[in-house]
Amino acid sequence: MADIATREAYGRALVDLGREYDFYVLSADLADSVKVDYFRNAYPERYVECGIAEENMIGVAAGIASTGTPAFASSYAMFTAGRAYEQIRNSVAYPNLPVIIGASHAGVSVGEDGATHQCCEDIALMRVIPGMTVFSPCDAIEATQVTKAALLAGSPVYIRLSRPASPAVNTDSYVFEPGKGVVLCDGDDVAIFATGLMVWQALEARRLLAERGISAAVINIHTIKPIDSALIERYAARVKQLFTVEEHSVIGGLGSAVCEVLCATHPARLTMIGINDRFGLSGTSSGLLSYFGLTASSIADKISASLES
């Protein structure tokens, strides 16, 4: 299967779902970039262009959702989670409306647009909002199913999507289950909990670690909230050390969510691999992932060093 970006899969899924379900799709002058132009072209009567005004887009989506019809509001992660935070909190989450936020271009893999457009804080911002579900699909297959699950949730959902194409982690037989982490590979020494683009990198890191005699489990945490506490506890009791890998700040993201589970139920040693309290840079997607230590080789090196310390 060809590499496909999760934003691409999201856009295609909306078109397919539009044949069976009644909902609206909104954008903020970025329809082509976030791939909702497919829906705009297929169902123009159910598409709303809001212009460069994410706050207004969320307000309009909330108004539509208040009638009982779900609405997808799509833009860059920086402009939804960041610019429209108050509207998401007060107009969507507080009244518990079926608004789905399709947040594309998350993390440093946005690339050349630089720090102003590279949102590495969105998971932290969204998961703290009461009642908000947070999904972070690892590939196109998962993103397609995540989009449908978000539509059927009947409550606020944030979907974190990526700009670059990513290899397929799952097969066509995969079935997405909200809130349930997926054990992609088991292992006895360490457990790597990864999300989004980092799942593929974690799988590659596992292969490198195996060459060093380290047996690593790789778990796809596609649902950051509600997180799969039972699965985290299970591995905390089994392996020597836990690791989280995310294209997000280590403050408030997947690592923090896993830490919260461990502190409450099963204290264990955890190392968080992600963006270390800093802004991004301008560069290619692959170059930035390498610079920030989010490639398979860097992940494997960090795990090996941690085990030796």
To the nearest whole number, what is the mean pLDDT of the chain?
A: 97
Active site residue 54: yes
Ordered alpha helix ranges (H), 26-176: 31-34, 37-42, 54-65, 77, 85-87, 122-127, 140-153
- Per the CB < 8 A criterion, the answer to whether 178 and 149 are in contact is yes
Over residues 72-87, the mean pLDDT reads 98
Rounded Cα–Cα distance for residues 225 and 216 (Å) = 24
Over residues 216-229, the mean pLDDT reads 98
Rounded to whole angstroms, what are the CA distances from 64 to 47, 52, 228? Answer: 12, 19, 32
List, for residues 180-189, the tens digit of each pLDDT value: 999 999 999 9
Q: Which is catalytic among the residues 8, 54, 246, 247? A: 54
Tokens of 242: 């836990």
Specify the pLDDT at position 113.
Answer: 93
Helix (H, G, I), strand (E, B) or coil at 235: helix
List, for residues 26-39, the tens digit of each pLDDT value: 999 999 999 999 99
Given a cut of 80, whether residue 286 has pLDDT beyond it is yes
Residue 20's Cβ-count burial label (10 Å; 0-12, 13-18, 19+) is exposed
Rounded Cα–Cα distance for residues 184 and 193 (Å) = 10
* Domains assigned to the chain: 6-160 (3.40.50.970), 182-308 (3.40.50.920)
Specify the pLDDT at position 1.
Answer: 62
Q: In what order do the strands lie in the sheet with 24-27?
A: 47-49, 24-27, 71-76, 99-104, 157-160, 133-135, 223-225
Confidence class for position 309, pLDDT limits 50, 70, 90: confident
List, for residues 101-115, the tens digit of each pLDDT value: 999 999 999 999 999
Decide: pTM greater than 0.95. yes
CA 303, 301, 207, 105 torsion: positive or negative?
A: positive
